[in-house]
């Protein structure tokens, strides 16, 4: 299926690894020109500009360089994110750790939208990475859940305000990424008794939203239907 990305210009934050890297490669496979923004250098096949999404001057400089390389923007994907102290009760979580999660996962997305919107073509798309943790939770994840809930609300607000482009977000359940393995351990994912997504699975969700002209202001919850199940013992 031709999704219409051939020759289009795509910027992906967090594009050096994990879901961001999968998105960058998926757009490139569709014929798009792609630049990643990341704190780290990406692999050779993904041109990367170093930038810190929590620092506004860094975002401005990174976006400016990316736009200079690409010649404009048609799609922006916000994948940069951190999990924070997973498994730590809120009462034991340092304020600095809470602030760090919100800075990357929320402020980073706000700054990305703020500084890419002037460069986006009319009819372009922004796709942000949220999580099923915006809708469901487990103990020890309060800052992360709060940040991803904010991304869902941010998506809707941006879709209303940024009239020239569409804004949506993806909300996947657990994804097999270096971050998830660092948080949960290899055994938890390799021997999981629940389905685990691949970064490529999420990339397909991102491409769907970026290519769908009638979808705007939506949070695509991709969790194998788990959130639809009642906890009632019937």
Is the pLDDT at 180 greater than 80, yes or no? no
User: The tokens of 191 are what?
Assistant: 């021997």
Compute CA distances 139 → 52, 91, 148, whole Å: 29, 12, 15
Q: Are 168 and 209 in contact (CB under 8 A)?
A: yes
| Closest-CA residue to 99 (of 89, 80, 85, 111) | 85
144 is catalytic: yes
104 DSSP assignment: I
| Closest-CA residue to 161 (of 81, 234, 200, 216) | 216
Is the pLDDT at 179 greater than 80, yes or no? yes
Return the CATH class of domain 9-220: alpha beta
Domain residues of the chain, as ranges? 9-220
Is the pLDDT at 185 greater than 80, yes or no? no
Compare 229 and 14 and report the one with higher pLDDT: 14
Q: Which of 117, 144, 224, 226 is catalytic?
A: 144
Q: Are 72 and 7 in contact (CB under 8 A)?
A: no
User: The tokens of 175 are what?
Assistant: 């994804």
pTM summary value: 0.95
Compute CA distances 51 → 5, 39, 78, 178, 227, whole Å: 25, 5, 13, 20, 35
| pLDDT the model gives residue 188 | 74
What mean pLDDT, rounded, does the chain reach? 94
Q: Are 101 and 149 in contact (CB under 8 A)?
A: no
| Closest-CA residue to 12 (of 45, 34, 44) | 34
pLDDT in tens, 38-89: 999 999 999 999 999 999 999 999 999 999 999 999 999 999 999 999 999 9
């Amino acid at each position: 299926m031709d999704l219409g990305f051939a020759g289009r210009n795509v910027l992906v934050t967090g594009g050096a690894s994990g879901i961001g890297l999968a998105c960058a490669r998926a757009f490139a496979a569709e014929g798009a020109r792609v630049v990643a923004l990341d704190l780290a250098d990406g692999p050779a096949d993904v041109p990367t500009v170093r930038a810190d999404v929590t620092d506004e001057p860094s975002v401005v400089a990174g976006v400016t360089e990316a736009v200079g390389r690409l010649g404009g923007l048609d799609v922006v994907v916000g994948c940069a994110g951190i999990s924070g102290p997973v498994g730590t009760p809120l009462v034991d979580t340092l304020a600095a750790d809470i602030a760090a999660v919100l800075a990357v996962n929320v402020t980073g997305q706000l700054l990305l939208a703020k500084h890419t919107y002037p460069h986006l073509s009319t009819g372009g798309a922004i796709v942000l990475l949220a999580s099923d943790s915006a809708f469901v939770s487990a103990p020890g994840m309060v800052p992360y859940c709060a940040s991803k809930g904010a991304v869902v609300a941010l998506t809707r607000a941006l879709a209303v305000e940024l009239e020239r482009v569409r804004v949506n977000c993806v909300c996947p359940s657990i994804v097999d990424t270096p971050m998830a393995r660092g948080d949960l351990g290899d055994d938890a994912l390799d021997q999981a008794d629940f389905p685990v997504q691949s970064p490529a699975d999420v990339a397909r969700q991102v491409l769907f939203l970026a290519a769908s002209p009638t979808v705007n202001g939506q949070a695509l919850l991709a969790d194998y239907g788990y959130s639809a199940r009642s906890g009632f013992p019937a």
